[in-house]
Chain A
Amino acid sequence: MCASTHRHSLHCILPPYILSQIAENGSPELRAIAMHSLLIDPTIRIVRASTAGPVTGTIARRRSAAGNVLTPSPLRTIRDAGGEPEAPGPIVVRREGQGPTGDVAVDEAYDGLGATFDLFWEAYQRNSIDDAGLPLDATVHYDRDYDNAFWDGTQMVFGDGDGELFNRFTIALDVIGHELTHGVTEKEAGLVYFNQSGALNESISDVFGSLVKQRLLGQTADQADWLIGAGLLTSAVNGVALRSMKEPGTAYDDPVLGKDPQPGHMDDFVRTNQDNGGVHINSGIPNRAFYLSATAIGGNAWDQAGRIWYNTLLDPNTRANTDFAGFARVTIDVAGRLHGTESAEATAVAEAWTAVGVI
């Protein structure tokens, strides 16, 4: 354990409680070394993983005292359902920090959760779904020929697709981001999954799902394809994706799947009892508003437009039953607070909502 190559002899000599005292009260140099030793102490890491939450209280204060801010980790756990309709799956196949397994669905889920975590942390300083380091769990290989992915309140669940119409649902990074964002929305505005608030809930998942992908690919708003689920449909389907944020209603038109039913303007708003009041249908309208805002503002969509939408999701004026117009007003308020009421950003957002007929 205490090999001669160990760089921090403090760790080898001193027990953790002494290290803690040094981290709190020692000279700056000693504090930094003690903190490093504490942070690499396997017992602390094991406790952190098993308690499944952020390090708070005494250790957090000591970390702060040492001027050492630990980058949060997504704490991913991927489980395998083995083709059974069972979530969480019975077998843990990859944990945080472990290398690729060679199972493409497992590794895509792991990487996708990581990319989504990175967007929320690095762009918006949000530490995981609950902003308190909630571990990210996913189950893959759910059921047989299962053409779906969903958020069950505690984890993301991914099917392998039937291979005829749908490929595996981990293939699209934005779908992974979409599912995880449902968890964020649930923790924040709690938009009710029905009618317009439900369509906003769906749209927010599409927005941040797309931003995860754009950010990983390094694409500006102009360069992005603004498709959701590109690659999910097999070549047997006449379509390119599940949805298009840029041109809602154009993602597919197929004899088996039917035609993409999404509207891009309030004139075409669909009133229906299906799909929880059309949550995956009418989300096309706020999706297009985001696309128009992001492309009008320019640059990386996650920087300005994404920040406006993120702050709107956290704003107390966005409530569980907020409708399109209410959400639009908050985005404009937020853009005004961030950039000025007469700013190009606030103007772009207001014009986008006008263009889709919401305000």
Chain B
Amino acid sequence: MQTGKACSEAITGEVRVRIEGGLAHFPGLAKEQTVSFNDLGLPEREELTSLADKADFFGCTPANETARPDARTYTVGLTIDGRSREIRVAEPIRDPALARLVSVVRRLSKQQAVAR
């Protein structure tokens, strides 16, 4: 247990997200948000890492779909332990793992935006 915990705590990285579109355009929510792993708890870091693996975030080829009316487009950047990538996905996100990853990233960035 101790070994696993130490290993997880060592995960470094950050999350970046910019949300466009949606039913209304809110200038205050349209800015890019960056969340450092240093500001996240261990469960959140582990969840992000696990979801990024499940979604094959660093290797997948995202579908190049244009946004449907009022659907959002997410530009998501992840840096985890030196690996870094940015992808752009439009709703509805059909891949369940990628949809969950974007959902978590969205909520973490929202907490950050509201806290500021």
Please tell me if A131 contacts chain B, counting CB pairs below 8 Å.
no
- Number of inter-chain CB pairs below 8 Å: 104
Q: Does B30 contact A (CB under 8 A)?
A: yes
- Once A144-B107, A258-B29, A276-B67 are accepted as A-B contacts, the answer to whether A175 and B102 lie under 8 Å apart by CB is no
Question: Does B3 touch A at the CB level, under 8 Å?
Answer: no
Interface string of A272-315 (1 = CB under 8 A from B): 00111010110000000000000000000000000000000000
Instruction: Name which of A17-25, A119-127, A146-154 contacts chain B.
Output: A146-154
CB–CB B25/A193 < 8 A: no
Tell me which of A152, A178, A202, A274 contacts B68 (CB under 8 A): A152
Contact of B113 among A152, A205, A256, A274 (CB under 8 A): A256
Contact A164 B114, beta carbon cutoff 8 Å: yes
Given the known A-B contacts A148-B70, A150-B71, A258-B28, are A143 and B103 also in contact in the complex, defined by CB atoms under 8 Å? yes
CB neighbours (8 Å) of A175 from chain B are: 23
Say what secondary structure dominates the interface of chain A. loop
Contact check, B70 vs A182: say whether CB atoms are below 8 A apart: yes
The answer on a CB contact under 8 Å between A179 and B70 is yes
Q: Are A280 and B114 in contact, with the CB atoms below 8 A?
A: no
Knowing A258-B27, A276-B67, the reply to whether A85 touches B100 (Cβ < 8 A) is yes
Is A231 among interface residues, defined by CB-CB distance under 8 A?
A: no
State whether A150 touches B26 (Cβ < 8 A): no
The distance in angstroms between the C-alpha atoms of A146 and B92, with both chains bound, is 13
Which chain A residues in 110-154 approach chain B with CB under 8 Å? Answer: 143-153
How far, in Å, is B11 (CB) from chain A's closest CB? 23
Closest CB-CB distance, A53 to chain B, in whole Å? 23
Q: How far is the CA of A157 from the CA of B102 in the complex (A)?
A: 17
Taking A85-B93, A85-B99 as contacts, is the C-beta distance between A193 and B69 under 8 angstroms? yes
Smallest Cβ-Cβ distance to B103: which chain A residue? A85
Does B28 contact A257, Cβ atoms closer than 8 Å? yes
CB pair B20–A275 under 8 Å, yes or no, is yes
> Quick one: closest A residue to B18, CB to CB?
A274
Contact residues of B between 40 and 67, Cβ < 8 Å to A: 66-67
A257-B26 in contact (CB<8A): yes
A165 to B103, CA, bound (A): 17
Pick from B23, B25, B28, B107: contact of A149, CB below 8 A: B23
B6 within 8 A of A: no
**Those 9 A-B pairs whose CB atoms lie nearest each other, nearest first:** A258-B27, A258-B28, A150-B70, A85-B99, A182-B69, A242-B24, A150-B71, A280-B25, A275-B25
Apart from A150-B91, A175-B23, what are 18 other A-B pairs with CB-CB below 8 Å?
A86-B96, A148-B70, A150-B70, A152-B91, A169-B23, A179-B69, A201-B69, A202-B69, A229-B23, A229-B24, A258-B26, A258-B28, A261-B27, A274-B25, A275-B20, A275-B25, A278-B25, A280-B23
Q: What are 6 A-B pairs with beta-carbon distances under 8 A? A: A152-B92, A229-B23, A257-B27, A261-B27, A274-B25, A280-B21
**Contacts from B to A (Cβ < 8 Å):** 20-30, 66-72, 91-93, 96, 99-100, 102-103, 107, 110, 113-114
